Structure 1
Amino acid sequence: MTDKHPVRQAAALKYDTAKQHAPVLTASGRGLTAEAIIKRAEDNGVPIQQDPALVGLLGELKVNDAIPADLYEAVAEVFAFIYKADRQAGE
């Protein structure tokens, strides 16, 4: 039997190019924790991109871990999405 309502997962990233060589995982969780992460992002106007496969991989990291090199391309796509969303919001 499959669950009609899979448990939500969420991850939050931060990238300060002046201080970091790679993005850092700032929050990660499932269920209620994921809901809280999503709510905080929404409340602060942070664009949200849904990518269950990437969130699953990020969920294997510890908070404050830098993103490993093998995830750079996928994470770069997320930051490109955010950049585009920010530009559209500014227009």
Structure 2
Amino acid sequence: MSEFEKLMQQKAAALRYDPEKNGAPVIVASGMGYMAEKITETAMKAGVPVYEDDSLASLLTQLKLGKEIPEELFQAIVEIYVYFLGFTGESKSKDKKEEKSEK
């Protein structure tokens, strides 16, 4: 498979969740190929966590921008949010343990 073909298979979607405005996360960007690559690069540069799941990305890129994700995808999205919350929490607790052991 050529590099171009690999690039064209990439898919990405960006979500935003504001509980005061929306009942569910909203798709704020999505794309395939070069656009997917740029969405991912932009997120990483901005310090936004990136989660890779080809199946979920395929589903999300089929939805309209600005729309809340459908209820059928809630569980998958919640698992991603929990993953990132746990990742951040573990990272912070390890840092605190290391600080205490140094004292």
Using the size of structure 1 for normalisation, the TM-score is: 0.87
| Matched position secondary structure for 1:28 | strand
1-side partners of 2:91 and 2:43: how far apart? 15
Counterpart for residue 43 of structure 1: 45
| Matched position secondary structure for 1:77 | helix
Consecutive unaligned residues in structure 1, runs of 5 or more:
none
Consecutive unaligned residues in structure 2, runs of 5 or more:
96-103
Aligned length: 89
Alignment of 1:1-91 (within 5 A): 3=1, 5=6, 7-90=9-92, 91=95
Deviation at 1:89, TM superposition (A): 4.7
User: Which structure shows the higher helix fraction?
Assistant: 2
Structure with max Cα Rg: 2
Identity %: 36
Over the residues paired in the alignment, what is the CA RMSD in angstroms? Answer: 1.5
